[in-house]
Amino acid sequence: MKIVVCVKQVPDTAAKVAVEGGKVTWGDAPLVINPWDEYAVEAALQAAEKGGGTVTAISLGAEEAKEALKHALAMGCAEAVLVNDPALAELDTQGASRVLAAAIRKVGGVDLAVFGKQAIDGDSGVTAAQTARVLGWPAATLLASLSLESGTLKGERAMEEGRQRVEAALPAVASIVKDYGEPRYPSFMGIRKAAKAEIPAWTLADLGIPTPAAAVMWKEIMNPPARQITNEMITGSSPEEIANKLADKIMEEKVL
């Protein structure tokens, strides 16, 4: 059983993200593995442990994205590959999906490609489905459970209205949600193995594909409009009177 998991490197969740000079900045906050992808790594590892397979982690990004791959190796992935090419600076989700699909094909013989629900920076949540489309594989998204039985993926999709039991013939793409269960922490031995690991970097030439043209161009990135916050002290001769005035104000402002 050959399983691939796609992990993205993102600014830490505590980062103060802002736009300066038309570029996204996050100060000196560290770059980390996308939190949703830790659930994807966990699901991939458990599927491999049950099915007697290996997990290869793939990341598309700059050289420093190797740190996100090392986190996946420290969790237990057998191998990791970085896809890094200067031509990939301006990439949309379609382009990212074409590159990830080419990398999955280059790994070869892959039965399952696992993705996180979304990336906390781009937040589009479409890369898994788009990659499945490029590969021509079925996509089982938003899975809270996943098992592989005799060439078939079985899982439960977690949706607001309830659960949906799904099945798909392998090879397939899956995306994982938090309901799947807590990801394991990198073990001490895992961290040591990851620190020594040689992570190859593939270029577009290695993948044998041209530079994907962006269908959606980011023309301008702006900071959100500054929120106007005003304070108003509500006074009255008794707590009841203050409470009534507050309730009227809340209704007036249509907060409730």
Ligand X SMILES: Cc1cc2nc3c(=O)[nH]c(=O)nc-3n(C[C@H](O)[C@H](O)[C@H](O)COP(=O)(O)OP(=O)(O)OC[C@H]3O[C@@H](n4cnc5c(N)ncnc54)[C@H](O)[C@@H]3O)c2cc1C
Footprint on this chain of ligand X (rule: CB under 6 A): 6-8, 34, 36-37, 40, 59-61, 89-93, 96, 100, 115-116, 118-119, 121-128, 214, 216-218
Pick the closer one to ligand X by CB: 122 or 242. Answer: 122
Tokens (6 digits) for 209? 């594909």
Q: Least distance in Å: CB of 189 to ligand X?
A: 25
Q: Least distance in Å: CB of 53 to ligand X?
A: 19
Q: How far apart are CA 80 and CA 72, in angstroms?
A: 8
Q: Least distance in Å: CB of 128 to ligand X?
A: 5
Tokens (6 digits) for 186? 């990198």
Pick the closer one to ligand X by CB: 105 or 242. Answer: 105
Residue nearest to ligand X (CB): 122
Tokens (6 digits) for 65? 């994205």
Task: For the sheet with 172-176, list strands across it.
Answer: 162-169, 152-159, 139-149, 172-176, 112-116, 2-6, 54-60, 79-83, 201-202
Q: Least distance in Å: CB of 26 to ligand X?
A: 11
Pick the closer one to ligand X by CB: 89 or 256. Answer: 89
Pick the closer one to ligand X by CB: 74 or 139. Answer: 139
Rg from Cα positions in the chain: 22
Q: Least distance in Å: CB of 7 to ligand X?
A: 6
Q: How far is CA 53 from CA 102, 106, 135, 181, 243, in A?
A: 21, 18, 21, 21, 63
Pick the closer one to ligand X by CB: 220 or 240. Answer: 220
Asked if 212 and 131 count as a contact pair (C-beta separation under 8 A), the reply is: no
224-244 as b/e: b if 16+ CB within 10 A: eeeeeeeeeeeeeeeeeeeee
User: CA-based angle 136:172:206, to the nearest 5?
Assistant: 65
Q: Least distance in Å: CB of 92 to ligand X?
A: 3
Pick the closer one to ligand X by CB: 22 or 236. Answer: 22
Asked if 109 and 1 count as a contact pair (C-beta separation under 8 A), the reply is: no
